[in-house]
A and B are shown apart, each in its own frame.
Chain A
Amino acid sequence: MGALLELTSKGIYCPPADLYLDPWRPVERAVITHAHSDHARWGMKQYIATPITVDLMHKRLGKNIQTQRISYKETFFHNGVQFSLHPAGHVPGSAQIRVEYKGEVWVFTGDFKIEPDAVSDPFESVPCHSMITECTFGLPIYRWPKSSTILHSIAQWHEQNKAQNLTTVLVGYSLGKAQRLLAGLSALGIPLRVHSTIADLNESIPTLRPYTSFIREWTKDTPNEVFKNDILIVPPAAADRTTLEKRLGPVKIGYCSGWMQLRGYKNRTTNIDKGFVLSDHADWNGLLQAIKQSGAQNIYTTHGYSSTFAQWLSENGWKAQPLQTEFISAETDVMVDE
């Protein structure tokens, strides 16, 4: 990597500013793209992030962490290096980090999604010379259907389940996926119940407020009768069929993730009835669109199919190389924190 950003054992480092981007070991100062646990980790002396991400980090990492709130497109400086955060469209509060020094511009995308949704600020292309991009779904087999199509098929499936007196449960990550489902499904007039971990995060997400009349928390006092019409949304950790059926009677479980695109992944996700292809990441075309629009010539790839994607970019006119980051363990066993 160049001099402005470099890869160290603690994470992506900016030497002239002496700070890290999404580091995975404790450091003095960290700029954080979003609040998912593989990007916002424990132990940093200071966290710099968007206001929503800061609120979410306080929920996940504790009240006592030291934070600095930076709004989208607001610039801030460290040792003469200029930083700004730009919407990444991944989850509420998620940002790309733009770094400029002596006329050279780098962008670290963090995780991003091109297709807009109702709860996250939509992705904005940021012109740059060098780009560190995720490529969780960096193979041409990943082509997302429109999310409106998916939401309608969820609604249709829910109708079938109701007709058979079965309760519909949807599984999605508590930050991002859950809120997209909540906004998208309440717009279709479906009453929703959420698991407490999701309800807790919802408080920090202002874009969800227009939908609150449709969303109720699922508590231990919630009578089962209400579930005739409601969809229950739970995080993967709470998706155990036996536990759910003990309280709700027979259920149908749907799993929402980009990985559901592959039959093999879907079939080995045990105990689910249906997979819905709904991802918070860019697909192949989305990744290419982001790279082309940025005008960047130097591309560094992280997450997932990084070496394959970098090789393809190299063969097609970019200077590209994979980075061994620790955002996720290894290629394709990624079914963590989308």
Chain B
Amino acid sequence: MKTLVHLLQTLEETSATHQKKEAIVLYLSSVNEIERLHTIALFCQRTPKRPVKIALFKQWIAEYLALPLWLIEECHHTVGDLSETISLLVSSETTEITTSLPDILQHLYELPGKPLEEIKSTIIYYWTHLDSYSCFVFNKLLSGNFRVGVSQNLIAQAIAVYTQQDVGKIHSALMGNWSPITHTWSELFHFTDHKVGSQPYPFYLAYPLEDTTLVTNNTDDWSAEYKWDGIRLQMVHRGQQTYLWSRGEELITDRFPEIVAAFQALPDGIVLDGELVVWDEQRTCSFPYLQKRIQRKNVTEKILTSYPAYVMVYDILEYQTKDCRSLPYVERRAILNTLLSSYPQERILLSKAYSFSNMESLNQLQLDAVQAGAEGLMIKRNQSEYQYGRKRGDWWKWKKEPFTVDAVLIYAMQGSGRRAGWYTDYTFAVWNGDQLVPFAKAYSGLSDSEIKELDAWIKKNTLEKFGPVRSVPAHHVFEIAFEGIALSSRHKSGIAVRFPRILRWRKDKPLNEANTLDDLNAMLSNGLS
């Protein structure tokens, strides 16, 4: 455990990426193969299952320290992170445990299913015999939300340096189904030329396009596609089997049987990249419908007909069992075109590529995309290879402007992490007659100094406290941006918005000039969603 804790501390204290990489490489070369794989798994968010509910941790701590539960809650609100709160409350001054990381993890993997008393005494033993930082790390392992602030890309680079392998191969190896329990280090990083079974390729991701002249200066080099408002999906079809992978490297095959069925008609040895969408009654792409669909693990007949799923395919990564990612975009599109027109399937659709000749035609495409229910455009270089990770230069996303409304702050809750102890999670409301109805929560968009100023105001002007939430008088108006708007029975306002965030603090705006619920309803009925 000591070596890992040391690595994490080093990573936290260095800001330069190359130094972080060096630290990881050094770590990899200083531990054995078993610990190495366990750590990589942790870095890739493959943590053991949580053995008990988090709420129990607080009870145990309260009992152990003979403090009331409300005081533990108060501590948690102040710190903003339960793992850290526990480490501050009960850790020992120095670590008295020499157990290795794999042994601790093995211990954790075995905990679920054990009698509760045994789980409790084991966990309390660790808590009280580790130093503060080690205890914090242990809790992160325990609660299954281990985050190190190091991108998977950097991990892959470090492994590539350590194993002296190509970083692209490492990326591929890190995807798919593996865990330190089912695989060994050498199994995972021993490469063959052929992909097998369900294994997907790493996704290629785009950056937002800020300067459109990058693509309008030489329009012949570029193609545009609609940026569908769904979830990214990689479809692996090998050995008569189909596997659907989400961007989070989760296998979601079982949730979309109609897509899997459609693949039965397609030839073997192909891997496609696209967007999974759900169409509403008007046959336009609807994100709220998709959300209703994706939450269901149990897919009934009714769900299948009410929320029909489609994939809009825009790339092909493997064809006739061969990796074709290094072919230029236009050639891959040509293969894809031929494939999908030879085997037409209602549920597997080609996302068209469009050429454009100037800014005007690009704007027109953008409008068309929005009308079709897409978020905006993807703009791709015709000669681009299918790369991995988020890269600048060849693939861009270009989204329409967000909707904005002026809304009034009515509730605030304390944040977590570096916002601990500050009121940073806000609830905003719009007018409905002389009432304010909450319609969105947002926590991003203010600068640190604005947060401080608002936090001080909230603390001075609290009307009521409900646990971590405070209500405040209607006073401050903020401009809120969001991506989409839909009807919702779950919200008091009857409306739900997507990705709400604060654009600016409108100190100039009088309270009565904030927007109304009618304004939101008008956006909804104008089909702006």
The residues of A with any CB-CB pair to B shorter than 8 Å are 139-143, 145-146, 149, 261-265, 267-268, 270, 273-274, 305, 308, 312, 315, 329-333
Contact = CB atoms under 8 A, between A and B. Distances in A.
A228 to B, nearest CB: 22
A104 B80 CA distance: 43
> Nearest 5 pairs between A and B by C-beta?
A264-B420, A141-B88, A267-B418, A330-B459, A332-B421
A329 B456 contact: yes
A29 B68 CA distance: 43
Given A140-B75, A140-B89, A268 B68 contact: no
Contacts of A143: 88
B323 interface: no
B80 A264 contact: yes
Given A140-B89, A141-B85, A268 B418 contact: yes
B421 A264 contact: yes
A330 B456 contact: yes
A268 B78 contact: no
A274 B79 CA distance: 19
Most buried by B among A149, A273, A308, A315: A308
Contacts of B78: 139, 141, 262, 305, 332
Contacts of A308: 71, 74
A312 B66 CA distance: 12
A17 B418 CA distance: 47
A141 B84 CA distance: 9
Contact of A141 (B79, B452, B456): B79
Given A264-B417, A267-B418, A333-B456, A273 B13 contact: yes
Contact of A261 (B67, B68, B80, B88): B88
Interface in B412-442: 416-422
Most buried by A among B65, B85, B136: B85
B19 to A, nearest CB: 11
Interface in B385-427: 416-422
B448 interface: yes
Given A264-B417, A332-B421, A333-B421, A139 B74 contact: yes
A263 to B, nearest CB: 6
A142 B89 CA distance: 8
Contacts of B280: none
Contacts, number: 73
12 contacts: A140-B89, A263-B84, A263-B136, A264-B81, A264-B420, A268-B448, A273-B13, A305-B78, A312-B71, A315-B68, A333-B455, A333-B459
Nearest to B74: A308
Q: Interface extent on B, as a size class?
A: 20 to 34
A312 B417 contact: no
B89 A333 contact: no
Contacts of B13: 273-274
A141 B89 contact: yes
B150 to A, nearest CB: 15
B297 interface: no
B194 interface: no
Contacts of A146: 93
A264 B455 contact: no
A91 to B, nearest CB: 24
Interface string B305-327: 00000000000000000000000
Contact of A264 (B71, B93, B419): B419
Given A262-B421, A312-B71, A330-B460, 15 more contacts: A139-B78, A140-B71, A140-B75, A141-B75, A142-B88, A262-B84, A263-B136, A264-B80, A264-B416, A264-B419, A268-B418, A305-B74, A315-B68, A330-B456, A333-B421
A322 to B, nearest CB: 14
